[in-house]
């Protein structure tokens, strides 16, 4: 099946620094990529949706200037947490879809990146 | 707004026993329904999905789920659990775009 990777798998950083997380589709072209955030013992919350070559669409309550998303190619999307603070500590998961045909298209999920901001 | 409820936070089941995970949704139209499994350190894997047609859906790894419109439910079942089925299970509902709304998840522990 389709494989999605994330790098790094975990990162620890100091408060105020920026962290970039990469999401790659390894064996398919991802027209659409999604970024989720998961708190311990809670469900995944969609942060934003991005299509290759266009600006990301952010969910209500997600600061687009804090969580910068770039989907520059059909196999790579990046999430940059700018000026990270301890409350940004979380598990970030990306997913990718081969088409833009809607929710009936399967999303393939990456293994997630655990961010700890000290 | 759509929502997904998984009433059971944690279920412990003996190896070889049957398993049923509950999922209830709130959505105005006929939803797209999904079950995903998340093993430690791994991404979510799609077990099965329902869009239309036969309300009993077969998935991978021996799982099945039944859509019951009258109960707004989409429960996941497996007749005989294996130790490798220990994981976190998420029910999700899709809306008329790309978005998935996930339940809080159910942790399954399998005892020998």
Top-confidence residue, B43 or A34: A34
| B72 strand-pairing partners | none
Closest chain A C-alpha to B65 CA, distance in angstroms: 17
Residue A31: pLDDT band (50, 70, 90) is confident
Contact B43 A4 (CB under 8 A): yes
Q: How far, in Å, CA of B53 to CA of B44, rounded?
A: 25
Residue B51, pLDDT score:
86
Q: Which chain B positions have a beta carbon within 8 Å of A114's beta carbon? A: none
Residue A2, pLDDT score:
82
Residue B69 main-chain phi, psi, to 5 deg = -65, -40
For residue B6, what is the nearest residue in chain A, using CA coordinates?
A: A43
Q: Which tokens is A42 given?
A: 């809670």
pLDDT (tens digit per residue) in A48-97 = 998 888 889 999 999 999 999 998 888 999 999 999 999 999 999 999 98
Residue B24 main-chain phi, psi, to 5 deg = -120, 145
pLDDT (tens digit per residue) in B73-106 = 999 999 999 999 999 999 999 866 667 889 999 9
pLDDT (tens digit per residue) in B8-59 = 999 999 999 999 999 999 877 778 899 999 988 778 899 999 988 899 999 9
Contact A34 B98 (CB under 8 A): yes
């Amino acid at each position: 099946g389709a494989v999605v990777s994330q790098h790094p798998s975990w990162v620890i950083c100091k408060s105020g620094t920026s962290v970039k997380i990469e999401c790659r589709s390894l064996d398919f072209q991802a027209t659409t990529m999604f970024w989720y955030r998961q708190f311990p013992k809670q469900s995944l919350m969609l942060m934003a949706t991005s299509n290759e070559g266009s600006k990301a669409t952010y969910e209500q309550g997600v600061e687009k200037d804090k969580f910068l998303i770039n989907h520059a190619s059909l196999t790579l999307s990046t999430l940059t947490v700018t000026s990270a603070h301890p409350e940004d500590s979380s598990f970030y998961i990306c997913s990718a879809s081969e088409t833009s045909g809607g929710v009936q298209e399967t999303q393939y999920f990456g293994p997630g990146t655990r961010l700890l901001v000290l | 707004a759509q929502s997904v409820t998984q009433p059971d936070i944690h279920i412990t089941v003996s190896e070889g026993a049957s398993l049923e995970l509950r999922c209830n949704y709130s959505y105005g139209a006929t939803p797209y329904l999904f079950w995903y499994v998340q093993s430690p350190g791994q991404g979510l894997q799609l077990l099965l999905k329902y869009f239309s047609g036969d309300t009993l859906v077969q998935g991978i790894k021996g799982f099945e789920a039944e859509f019951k419109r009258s109960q707004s439910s989409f429960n996941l079942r497996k007749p005989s659990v294996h130790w490798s089925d220990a994981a976190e299970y998420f029910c999700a509902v899709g809306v008329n775009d790309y978005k998935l709304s996930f339940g809080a998840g159910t942790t399954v522990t399998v005892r020998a």
